[in-house]
Amino acid sequence: MILAVAAFLISFVPSLQIFFKGDGRFDRILMSVVQAVVAVASICLFIFGLSKLKSAYGAMKFNS
């Protein structure tokens, strides 16, 4: 999953830069903010997914 997020950041975020005009400092800050938001969101989803897997595994172990 971490590799999928890295591939997403590599492929999606540079394509967003096409929509921003100029090479100003604001554009670089905006791209960094987008990368940070995507990274934090992916980590939160990863933690949520692992939590669900843990609870499903625990329920499966207790039922058998």
5-37 tens-digit pLDDT: 777 777 776 666 677 666 677 777 887 888 788
Domain that holds residue 58: 2-63
Q: Is the pLDDT of residue 54 over 70?
A: yes
Query: How many CB atoms are located within 10 Å of the residue 20 CB?
Result: 13
Total number of domains in the chain: 1
On whether the pTM is more than 0.75, the answer is no
